[in-house]
A and B are shown apart, each in its own frame.
Chain A
Amino acid sequence: MIRALLFCFFLTQLLFGYSYDDLVLKAQSSIFPKIMLLDKEIKNKLVNNKIIYTIVYDEDDYQTALHVEEDINTAFKGHFDKYPYEITLVNFSHLSPTIKTSALYVLKSSKENIKKAANIARQKGIVSFSYDVNNLQYGLLFSLHIEKSTLLYLNKEYISMKKIDFVDLLLQMVKFVEKNGAVV
């Protein structure tokens, strides 16, 4: 029995671990909210004077979403800088343009779901973060990857977005991703 439980645990861990890098998740949990605050238009994106940080997940990634929420809460403890925040977990199936949020953090999903989330974010003029760098080619804005050092990736299309205005320095330190997914 014990052997069976240990096997299940390792299997789950193997599956989960295969899908998401815990280190990356932690890094993204601590950096993405800060990048969101580098948007000069952040004030206009408050919902009831709060920042709503929405984590969009597939059904299978619910645990990962919770894990991310926990990491964020551990890192920021209720406030992104001077703004109070609220983390909402939204399944791709429940994601609609009416959603009231300040930013989207998109976990792995199908191409269509990713595009859907990217469109909603673009329509609402909010910042969207992607766990997977490759998903930036479908319209998401930011991503982060850990190689020799931590690298930030930004969808080049962002430049044409009117409602988002990052501090210039941020643009100096990111790597731009072309529409076809090529890194510049």
Chain B
Amino acid sequence: MKKGKFESLSFKIMSSIVITSIIIIIGIFLAFEKINKKAFYNVEVQKATLILKTIEPVVAIDIYLDMQSKIRLLLKQLIQNKDILSIKILKDGATLYVVKSKNKSESLFIVKKDISQPNSQKKMATIELNYSNHNYKQLIKKYNKLLVVMLIIMLIIFILLSLYIDKLLKPLKQIARVLKGFSPEKKIQMEPIKQNNEISLIVSALNEMQKKICDFTNKQKDINIFLEEEVNKKTKELQAQLFKDDLTQLPNRKKLFNDIEHSKHDAALLILNIDDFKEINDFYGQNAGDYVLVEFTKRLLHFFEEEKNISLSRLSGDEFSLFFEHKPSHRTFMKVVNRLTKEIEKMVFEYEQSEIYIRVTFGGTMDTDEMLEKADIALKLAKEQKKYFLLYDAKLDVKRQYKENMEWVKKIKSAIKEERIIPFFQPIFDAKTQEPVSYECLIRLIDTDGSVVSPFKFLTIAQKSKLYPQLTKIMIEKSCQYFQHRETTFSVNLSINDILDVDMVAYIQKNVKKYGVNNKIVFEILETEGIDNYEEVSSFILSMKRLGCKISIDDFGSGYSNFEHILKLDIDYIKIDGSLIKHLDTDVNVQIVVETIVSFAKKLNLIIIAEFVHNQAVFEKVKSLDIERIQGFYLGEPEKEILEN
């Protein structure tokens, strides 16, 4: 039988009926079996007892009167009964009379009855009747026969019932078969059922439902076609937008990426950037900028109208690219650059009675790997080197540098976050006593492995990545905090940019006050950077000196020191640049320069500090020049902690 047959409704209904009926029949059968058999047995017992009750008085009087022949006759008559196997009359354990039947039936039970004297209840003897199972067996046989007949009748009823249920549910199976072939496109024909029952209702409902589904499907199909068309339309629009610049309608950076990806390593790229385009926007306004970009695009398109190998894209605000689908010769490539340069130089954009001129810088590459990055590097270098064009050359090795810089930026940021930027302290000694009189706070980065990183490795990058002010702030706060309770002066380096930064100045003042180090702190201003804004610097020095702070000019003599201007700055110390001190013992010219500086400083009553004193000879020379303070590895290296007496 198939699995489906077991799961069919008709099978389940029938099996439920059959199981329930079987349970009931078994229950009834067991109950009847027990009750009836017992009842049959009891009937036989009653019959035997009745026989004994009936004959007992007669036997009693016969025994009483000792009428033996009569007793024998009576017993003989009794034994004719098929149900009686034997009759015994016992007196005081001895058998008085015994009659046995020829009947071969088995004994069912034995009944006994006392025989009493007729005129009193005095026991005379006992009559014992052995009753056969003949009648009992007959009854059971009849009963079992009846049960079998009943079961057969019930079985027939069940079979007929199952056939009837199957017939009743047959239309459902037909409906299911027909429904299997249903699809919204293919309407199925369901024959109406004449009977007015649940199945006819289902058929009618299914026909109704089928009609609705078909209607709905047709509508849905129309909607789907419409939506599909719309989606295709929108997809095309979006695809176009994805690869198109809104303003100029030129292909955008994404399109360029796409072109490069499919270039099969036979292409060249030229990026051009409009110089100082921001100024156009700032001066003439955003609309003028947009106008220039649109017009510029038109002219470029016109210029390359006949060049099928070159496609123009807009990469960002003021940056365009020329993609050579097939790599041109170097000469052709340069020719395009030069022609375009000349053409652009001639371009004038008239906007609201203003004439706007533009200049461009080119960066190009003929290397097919990482074209955009390389062309971009070439462009940036061209800008830096103030050239109108630069072709990428592997020798420039700028890519590695870029990467390294980016990694350093990451390192610095994480060091700031994890408080791994700390000050180291290098002692500054009195030349005469050779005792430390002050300490210079020098920035150090503690790497994740615990190694100490020198500032020359990361300070330049910090300046470029605009992290420098954060480093300065850290140094200010940590140095002030360190010397808060120490009776010695200390110096902190400040760049010109720090001094010009109003927020930074406020931060410095706040910390100086907070830690009460105004009489201990010395600000070392780097002279090498070239002090242009003397007024601002002077103002800073003045405000700091009001607080009681001291000012020192660091790396004095390294740059183009403007003595006149320095005179105007109310400074306290001059620290002679290490590059001079380093060769003091060997270079006569250096000795002359240092002597001049010392002489100059002495006249101004400035205290002179010689840094980078790295050996005995230099140390002796410094002392001989009457320089008051000495700093350098010869006397003391920068340490995390200062040695305190």
Chain A interface (Cβ < 8 Å from any Cβ of B): 30-31, 34-35, 37-38, 40, 42, 81, 148-150, 152, 167, 169-170, 172-173
Contact pick for A173, options B61, B66, B117, B119, CB 8 Å: B61
> Nearest residue in A to B69 (C-beta to C-beta)?
A149
> Nearest residue in A to B73 (C-beta to C-beta)?
A149
State in angstroms the CA–CA spacing of A149 and B119 once bound together. 23
Distance between A166 CB and nearest chain B CB, rounded to angstroms: 9
Size category of the B interface is 10 to 19
Q: State whether A169 touches B66 (Cβ < 8 A).
A: no
Q: State whether A37 touches B119 (Cβ < 8 A).
A: yes
State in angstroms the CA–CA spacing of A149 and B120 once bound together. 26
State in angstroms the CA–CA spacing of A31 and B70 once bound together. 14
State in angstroms the CA–CA spacing of A172 and B62 once bound together. 12
State in angstroms the CA–CA spacing of A176 and B120 once bound together. 25
Instruction: Offer 19 A-B interface pairs, CB within 8 angstroms, sorted by A.
Output: A30-B66, A34-B66, A37-B119, A38-B118, A40-B119, A81-B119, A81-B122, A148-B69, A149-B67, A149-B69, A150-B67, A150-B70, A152-B65, A167-B118, A167-B119, A169-B57, A169-B58, A170-B118, A173-B62
State in angstroms the CA–CA spacing of A35 and B67 once bound together. 12
State in angstroms the CA–CA spacing of A116 and B60 once bound together. 35
Q: State whether A31 touches B57 (Cβ < 8 A).
A: no
State in angstroms the CA–CA spacing of A81 and B69 once bound together. 23
Knowing A37-B119, A167-B118, A173-B58 are in contact, say whether A31-B69 is a contact too (CB < 8 A). no
Distance between B102 CB and nearest chain A CB, rounded to angstroms: 24
Knowing A38-B118, A81-B120 are in contact, say whether A170-B66 is a contact too (CB < 8 A). no
Contacts of B119 in A (CB 8 A): 37-38, 40, 42, 81, 167
Contacts of B66 in A (CB 8 A): 30-31, 34
Contacts of A42 in B (CB 8 A): 119
State in angstroms the CA–CA spacing of A169 and B119 once bound together. 10
Q: State whether A150 touches B69 (Cβ < 8 A).
A: yes
1/0 per position for B104-143, CB-CB distance to A under 8 A?
0000000000000111101000000000000000000000
Distance between A85 CB and nearest chain B CB, rounded to angstroms: 15
Interface centre among B58, B64, B69, by most chain A C-beta atoms within 10 angstroms, is B64
State in angstroms the CA–CA spacing of A40 and B120 once bound together. 10
Contacts of B69 in A (CB 8 A): 148-150
> Nearest residue in A to B62 (C-beta to C-beta)?
A173
State in angstroms the CA–CA spacing of A170 and B57 once bound together. 10
Interface centre among A40, A152, A169, A170, by most chain B C-beta atoms within 10 angstroms, is A169
Knowing A167-B118, A169-B58, A173-B58 are in contact, say whether A31-B65 is a contact too (CB < 8 A). yes
Q: State whether B65 touches A34 (Cβ < 8 A).
A: yes
